[in-house]
Structure 1
Amino acid sequence: MTLFRSDFFLAAMNNKFYTAFICLLLFTACSGSEGYDLGDDEVQWKEPPVELPSIPVNEKPRILWMDASANFDFLANSKENIRSCLVKAKYTGFTEIVVDVRPTCGDVLYNSSLVEQITTLNHVERTASWDYLGTFIEEAHNLGLKVNANINVMVGGNIRDGGVLYRDSEKSSWATQLYYPSGIISIMDDERSHAKFFNPVNPEVQAYLLSLIRELAQNYSNLDGIILDRARFNSIESDFSQLTKTAFEKYIGKTVDAFPYSVFTWNADKVKPGLYYKQWLEFRAKITHDFFQKAGETIKGVNPDIKFGTYTGSWYSSYYNEGVNWASNRFDASAHYSWATPEYKNYGYASLLDLYMTGAYGKTLYGAENEWTVEGAILNAKKVTLGDVNVIGSLYGLNYENKPNDAEEAVYITLTVGDGLMFFDMIYLRMYDQWNAVKRGIDRALEND
């Protein structure tokens, strides 16, 4: 992969694909136990028990994501640039946008009385005083485009831009604790972690984040949707604080001795499951599920017309690493994977969502049984969500650098195999002039509907 200029690479690290990029390097097959000592009893996918309904292509959402950090130099101070990119999105065939208004620094690009406004992001200063999100809503709605506001949830800062975890010592206990082979450390002391995650188990963290979600819904009642990104644990190494240990003990009704070793130990760079490993994965999934339930209820309590959505990676076989079960609560992961308990399915949150975007970020386009292809990622996501929510395939523009035919074909796949398209990110449309390729893919899918 050819990397671009160094300042944009730092920006890319700050967006959701950084996780996907690492996963793509680590996992080249669809096995859920790659890199982990979980045994060899994985089970192949089974067909869904019912035929899922087909949606006409012209009714499927076509969403363009606009990352705050990557596009800040273009959008931060220019209403005209916002207007021009929205016009181009409309012409290309997109029907909705996701505008990123809480990047990983944890500060925001909307009117708030609870958190600081962003003035500098990715080394770009914002001098304009007009309402960033409000301008997107006004301009997009004038063009007939729907607007979804994205917030990066379980983060409170990043190495480059700082944030609440850097400036507020009273919130230092909110930072997640990471368990590495060398021991347990705060993520604030970990140079490898660019984005600084909160501990999702901490009730103070949850209350704070729910207050932000509530305020966003209240202040922007004309939003079409609110999207949660990074609504998860940082990694398999997170969270190993005493607070989380106590909560886990309450969940299983036992005192956990030899913590964290009774959860898992390290064998070089591989996880070796301990006595409570499967219950630990189940517990983490419950934490995320319950937060999603609260977040959805918070949004709907303010305005039931605002859609509630999320983005996750599509690699379900290993997404337990992030403490997330985005499947249907009717999908029994334990029948397919050795890491899941029968109770794991109870914390599938697909039915809580109005909008679900899954990262079909593989470079290979076709291959129905491989979750690392564009086609397979979407089909396997549909198999585990079981129709509880439509599956919108999400494409990563950097995969199609100098490959306009692949970009066109990938767009066509998402709109014919899946329930919609999300393209991440507008920066790649601009950098590599992929607008026409995306338009051809959209037009071809509509013509063949």
Structure 2
Amino acid sequence: MKEMFTESPTILWVDFLANGERLADEEEQVKLINHAVKSGITHMIIDAKVPFGQTTFPSKYAYHISSWSDGTFNAWKGRDFLKEFLSKMKDIKDIKVLANVDIFSEGITSSRDGMAYDKPEWQVTFYNEAASNESNAAEYSDAATIFVNPIHPEVREYELNIIKEICTYELDGIVVDRCRYPNIYGDFSDLSRNNFESYIDKKVTNWPEDIFTIDKETKEVRFASLFPKWAEWRALNIKKFISMARDTVKAVSPDLIFSDYVGSWYPLYYSEGVNWGSETYHPDLDWTSETYHVSGLAEQLDFIMTGCYYPEVEVQESEQNGRPATWYSVEGAIDKSLEVINGSIPVVGSLFLKDYTNNPDQFRKAIKMCKEKSAGVMLFDTVYLEDYNWWDILAEELNTSNKS
């Protein structure tokens, strides 16, 4: 798999929620592919399963995207996005196509669509009622996504069955996203309590206060004595699923690429319950146990994309703007990612293009930084290249970087 990174790939993410209405016109699909080819894109990631649990192809298990009750994607009724898009890519040898699968996000609060509402017993149980109103706070406070419990056996079987379906398409690989807990407040179900008590081989006397408490005034989380082991246990749960997903993909074909998208803010990633670092990396943070490294999942992947989602590109910029740490910049985030991955797999620095609205020069600089410091660059998302008319800028920058 290392060959994939010898020429510093440029990966373009095509988010279906943002682009699906436009791409219902097949001419727009062709237009997008032509833009990608001309710009020098080497990999495209297209959604097979969106953050609210619906699939963009007909699944035996999940609801189709056209089932969404608000009618947003009615134009996709009876259609298969994966099949349509891949058929247009079959003669294009210079671009690999990977399918993204949003894993443990299975519903939308606004319309109550999704498997999480069919199977309420799957849903994450939150620390308390107040926390349940922040279902996806690790991502953004007003997110409408409902998560399911990563250790529920039916949930795991369901997600793996969908991955198997996706692997029947002529793809180059699979990417998993939202393969995590929603935030620090979940999951506190009886299933999780019993599983955790088995892991630490003792009963939790004060549940859940022995893990953490929430300040009534400030709403701040205060770690308690069991939190380090709790963080380790949650991260191991995600690692176990990642391992299962990898085995599922590789059983279809060892040549299929298997990757994960995560946020680069590792020192705060206890909230998501994921240790995306290498097993050889031993973090020393106020919330990590001495054995936290055993939960590192990097070795399960062929490469990893870390979201370096900051408007500041250089460390110097983040320092000038009073950011609390150097990793609040593209450069610093890549440095932190490389430290955590510890040489185990390639790291691709990933950009949120909205961070550079009305600032194409900063966009150029961010691409250069990712290309220079990491194995390549991932661009999220296609819709901003369209909205900002940045395809030509991207092509110029990639052509320049490829020549240098």
Distance 1:161 1:60, change over 3 A: farther
One of 385, 395, 399 as aligned partner of 1:443: 399
One of 323, 347, 357 as aligned partner of 1:391: 347
| Structure 2 contact 116–147 (Cα < 8 Å) conserved | no
| Structure 1 contact 175–186 (Cα < 8 Å) conserved | no
Q: Tell me which residue corresponds to 1:135.
A: 84
Q: CA deviation at 1:187?
A: 5.2
Q: Distance in 2 between matches of 1:232 and 1:57?
A: 26
Q: Tell me which residue corresponds to 1:420.
A: 376
Q: Distance in 2 between matches of 1:200 and 1:227?
A: 17
Q: CA deviation at 1:56?
A: 11
Distance 1:226 1:127, change over 3 A: closer
Q: CA deviation at 1:275?
A: 2.1
**Residue type of the partner of 1:391?**
V
Q: Tell me which residue corresponds to 1:250.
A: 198
Structure-to-structure mapping, 1:46-445, within 5 angstroms? 59-75=7-23, 77-119=24-66, 123-127=72-76, 129-144=78-93, 145-160=95-110, 162-165=112-115, 167-168=117-118, 171-180=119-128, 182=130, 192-217=142-167, 219-220=168-169, 222-267=170-215, 268-334=218-284, 337-367=285-315, 370-445=326-401
| Structure 1 contact 105–162 (Cα < 8 Å) conserved | no
Q: Tell me which residue corresponds to 1:28.
A: none
**Residue type of the partner of 2:305?**
M
3-state SS of paired residue (1:333): coil
Distance 1:325 1:161, change over 3 A: same
Q: Tell me which residue corresponds to 2:320.
A: none
| Structure 2 contact 5–346 (Cα < 8 Å) conserved | no
Distance 1:430 1:186, change over 3 A: closer
Q: CA deviation at 1:159?
A: 2.4
| Structure 1 contact 120–161 (Cα < 8 Å) conserved | no
Distance 1:136 1:162, change over 3 A: farther
TM-score (norm 1): 0.81
- Equivalent pairs, count: 386
3-state SS of paired residue (2:184): coil
Q: Distance in 2 between matches of 1:393 and 1:439?
A: 18
Provide the identity percentage: 31
3-state SS of paired residue (1:142): coil
Q: CA deviation at 1:105?
A: 2.1
3-state SS of paired residue (1:375): helix
Q: Distance in 1 between matches of 2:52 and 2:129?
A: 28
Q: CA deviation at 1:164?
A: 3.0
| Structure 1 contact 366–376 (Cα < 8 Å) conserved | yes
Distance 1:97 1:431, change over 3 A: same
3-state SS of paired residue (1:119): helix
1:111-149 per-position Cα deviation (integer Å, ceiling 9, x unaligned):
322222221557242245442101222222322211100
Q: Distance in 2 between matches of 1:226 and 1:270?
A: 37
3-state SS of paired residue (1:322): coil
3-state SS of paired residue (2:269): helix
Runs of 5+ unmatched residues, structure 2: 317-324
Q: CA deviation at 1:376?
A: 1.2
Distance 1:371 1:141, change over 3 A: farther
3-state SS of paired residue (2:315): coil
Q: Distance in 1 between matches of 2:5 and 2:58?
A: 36
| Structure 1 contact 351–389 (Cα < 8 Å) conserved | yes
What do you get for the CA RMSD once the two structures are aligned?
2.3
1:179-228 per-position Cα deviation (integer Å, ceiling 9, x unaligned):
2484768959xx955100001121221111111112211x21x2101110
Q: Distance in 1 between matches of 2:346 and 2:200?
A: 33
Q: Distance in 2 between matches of 1:91 and 1:355?
A: 25
**Residue type of the partner of 1:327?**
G
Q: Distance in 1 between matches of 2:305 and 2:83?
A: 24
1:375-400 per-position Cα deviation (integer Å, ceiling 9, x unaligned):
11112101110111111111111111
Distance 1:186 1:363, change over 3 A: closer
| Structure 1 contact 410–441 (Cα < 8 Å) conserved | no
| Structure 1 contact 165–175 (Cα < 8 Å) conserved | no
